[in-house]
Structure 1
Amino acid sequence: MIKGVQDSGYDSGRCFIHSLQRAIEESLKSQPEVLQMIAAARRIVTHFNHSGLAEQKLKSIQQELNLPNHQLVQDVRTRWNSTYYLMERLLEQKRAISLYITDHENLINLTHAQWELLEQCIKLLKPFEEITKITSSGISCISEVIPHAVTLLKYLGKAETAEKVPNLVTMRSSLHAELERRFSFDGKNKYLVATFLDPRFKTSFLGLVQAEKARQKILLEALKISCDESSSTDDDSSPIRKKRNLNENDRTMEIHDSFWNCFEEVATDNMRNANNEEDVERNTVVNELDFYLKTGRLDRKANPYKWWLANENQYPNLSKFAKVYLSSPGSSVYSERLFSEAGNIYDEKRNRLLPKNAEKLVFIHHNLPLINFKY
């Protein structure tokens, strides 16, 4: 997939959720007692999921203890948050499970130390679960990646967090190191510009150097667009379409030629008018940037797309970059969710469904919730 994206000439980014998954997996392996606790928890959940009698007995105990009538959750190892839900549900039903195990010698309960470790794991990983849900939603934006990573690092480094999870020192340190290693954005301008152009964040989560890089990237792109528009002689194809059809060397030469064309144009303009220090288009973008940064930030839960739609006339140049950079984050969650929808339609009792009918059913199943089932 990476090779195909590179050959096509498109820009790309790693899957944020997959990188988060790998970071959490490595941190769990760093503390053996955590792995032992999770293995013991899985054995308990498997016992109830494989036995209808055990599940019925657990329900009756839940009623006696006035506990929520919830089933235990079986985790899937390719989704770290399913392991989190397993631990969370197990802690919720701790009293019922412990009471059930007292009458069944073949099932081993968690020790007191393991229950305490399980509770601390839930406390430590709760923010990661919340961010995973936010990023997995259909309206998530790539501009949220840097703020989420920065916030998680700050959360792990706080003394208050360390006090809540005193038995997870190794895991917390490993998690902090993995996040720093996997989420370094210094050379990734698309993330910097996207965060810069999100009215909820702007430069709040960027360092001084990162903010300046994002600003310069926008100004450079504006200058290139201005030069391309003035020097273009082919009206039938846009510069973006041309760029996607070129190989790496040709794209490099295109940027090279475009840059020196700008150099010649600036030099010529300065010869004509010595007092003209900057291109008018550049001045316009600079003014928009300055005014944009002076306005207040939006609330974290606000919709940046609606904000740019409402302020498109006020920021005609910046809004063009917002449409390009404020894309969905690199994630396979949404496509896998669509595959699951198809899997629910194609089952053993409907294995002779025609492809065109299956496609229609997937389309309806996916899109009806978007219009609140009003048809």
Structure 2
Amino acid sequence: MAKAIIRHNLPFSDVEYEGVREVHSFLNSTVKTISRNIAKVVVLRLYHDKMEIVKNELQAIPNRICVVDPLIEHFKMIDSFLCDGDFVHIRCANHILNVVVKAGLKTIESAIFNIRESIKYIKGSESRIVKFVECIKNLGLNMNGKLFQDMCTRWNFTYLMLDSAFPYRRAFSNFKLLDRDFKCCPSNDDWVEAEKIAKFLRPFYEITILFSGIHYPTANLHFHKFWKIHMLILEEKYSEDPNIKEIAIEMEKKFANYWEDDYSPIASMAVVLDPRYKLKLVKFCFKKLDPLTCNEKVSVVEDNLRRLFKEYKTTSDVEMVGSNSHGCDGEMLDDVEEFDMFESPC
């Protein structure tokens, strides 16, 4: 039963269901039933047994590998990390983006309220959906995509909701004429404000999708993608639009809690190892942020790389052969168009 609970993500209480116990008794009349607490103990025992097996297998591997909690503390104890494990931990990029964006969106709930409620109202009934589709057809609009409904736990659905609603803005006004109970039809001002917000959120959404890729390496993308987000937030802090300005201010507070302005030493080293960028991109980005601290930050990155290289050189005779990155070739260059023209005095 413990293996079934793990494999099928069943609740521990599953072992106490009368139907389940009847099946077990039918298959074996002498079977002893267990409680949910016993099931929990057995599942945890299986987990710890498997964890020990994984630890032993990883410890026997001679190559350098990437590990995550809770194995990190174990490897520190047996002194298996280079540089005392200083370059092991890196924060989840998409989690940070999620926290940063959600902090900003809390400030503009009223600006997108009517659009959110309109979509919720229309999608709440099959008959309303049919009416809305008729409105789209009568207006000669292309039905290229569905309306996304917002989800409070996932900010990217807020962006998708706004982006999916724009092509049908005339249909919402037309639907209002057919349904007297439709009280939350977005005004022209609502649409104008929503377009500004969606434009601001688009880079966050695109980078989240990029970081979620599984068919190409992503470690070398973090540094300049977070730099792009940081520069966008700093720029929009001075926006003439009060909603965008308020979003950017709240985002900057959260951003500083996680990254401040160095984007983690691991991310900066990873982009240096990308043969398309090397140290020049790090210099370019740091200079854009603050020319006065550029040299100091670049020196830290160089020192970290030398330290890591020195440990590899002294602890391993294995020749390290790199491979070309692929999967995002043309896409990444758009973010740093000025980079090709950059000549750093750093």
TM-score band (shorter)?
Answer: 0.5 to 0.7
Matched, 1:59 2:133: yes
Q: How does 1:68-79 map to 2 (within 5 A)?
A: 68-69=142-143, 70-79=145-154
User: Structure 2 regions of 5+ residues with no counterpart?
Assistant: 1-66, 76-80, 82-87, 287-293, 321-328, 334-346
Name which of 104, 110, 126 aligns with 1:27.
104
Aligned to 2:233: 156
Please, what TM-score do these two structures have when normalized by structure 1?
Answer: 0.55
- Alpha-carbon spacing, 1:45–1:180, altered in 2? closer, same or farther (3 Å): same
Deviation at 1:187, TM superposition (A): 8.4
Cα offsets for 1:323-370 (capped at 9, x unmatched):
xxxxxxxxxxxxxxxxxxxxxxxxxxxxxxxxxxxxxxxxxxxxxxxx
Name which of 101, 104, 119 aligns with 1:45.
119
Amino acid at match of 2:232: Y
Cα offsets for 1:266-306 (capped at 9, x unmatched):
xxxxxxxxxxxxxxx9xxx9xxxxxxxxxxxx86548xxxx
Q: 8 Å contact 1:155–1:161 — kept in the other structure?
A: no
**Distance (whole Å) between structure 2 residues aligned to residue 125 and residue 187 of structure 1:** 20
SS of corresponding position for 2:179 = coil
Aligned to 1:175: 251
Name which of 128, 151, 158 aligns with 1:83.
158
Q: 8 Å contact 1:74–1:82 — kept in the other structure?
A: yes
- Alpha-carbon spacing, 1:179–1:201, altered in 2? closer, same or farther (3 Å): farther
Count of residue correspondences: 234
Matched, 1:4 2:79: no
Deviation at 1:160, TM superposition (A): 11
Q: 8 Å contact 1:143–1:191 — kept in the other structure?
A: yes
SS of corresponding position for 2:278 = coil
Aligned to 2:182: 107
Q: 8 Å contact 2:236–2:248 — kept in the other structure?
A: no
- Alpha-carbon spacing, 1:35–1:182, altered in 2? closer, same or farther (3 Å): same
- Alpha-carbon spacing, 1:43–1:131, altered in 2? closer, same or farther (3 Å): same
**Distance (whole Å) between structure 1 residues aligned to residue 177 and residue 228 of structure 2:** 43
Aligned to 2:61: none
**Distance (whole Å) between structure 1 residues aligned to residue 217 and residue 149 of structure 2:** 27
- Alpha-carbon spacing, 1:68–1:179, altered in 2? closer, same or farther (3 Å): farther
Q: 8 Å contact 1:76–1:82 — kept in the other structure?
A: yes
Q: 8 Å contact 2:237–2:248 — kept in the other structure?
A: no
Please, what TM-score do these two structures have when normalized by structure 2?
Answer: 0.59
More relative contact order, 1 or 2 (CA 8 Å, 6+ apart): 1
Q: 8 Å contact 1:75–1:82 — kept in the other structure?
A: yes
Matched, 1:147 2:224: yes
SS of corresponding position for 1:102 = helix
**Distance (whole Å) between structure 2 residues aligned to residue 225 and residue 191 of structure 1:** 19
Kindly, what percent of the aligned residue pairs are identical? Answer: 19
**Distance (whole Å) between structure 2 residues aligned to residue 12 and residue 160 of structure 1:** 31
Aligned to 1:227: 314
Q: How does 1:228-247 map to 2 (within 5 A)?
A: 228-229=315-316
Aligned to 2:92: 15
- Alpha-carbon spacing, 1:172–1:224, altered in 2? closer, same or farther (3 Å): closer
Q: How does 1:326-341 map to 2 (within 5 A)?
A: none
Aligned to 1:202: 278
Matched, 1:98 2:164: no
User: Structure 1 regions of 5+ residues with no counterpart?
Assistant: 231-237, 239-280, 286-297, 303-375
Cα offsets for 1:46-83 (capped at 9, x unmatched):
22222111111211211221212132111333321111
Amino acid at match of 1:147: H
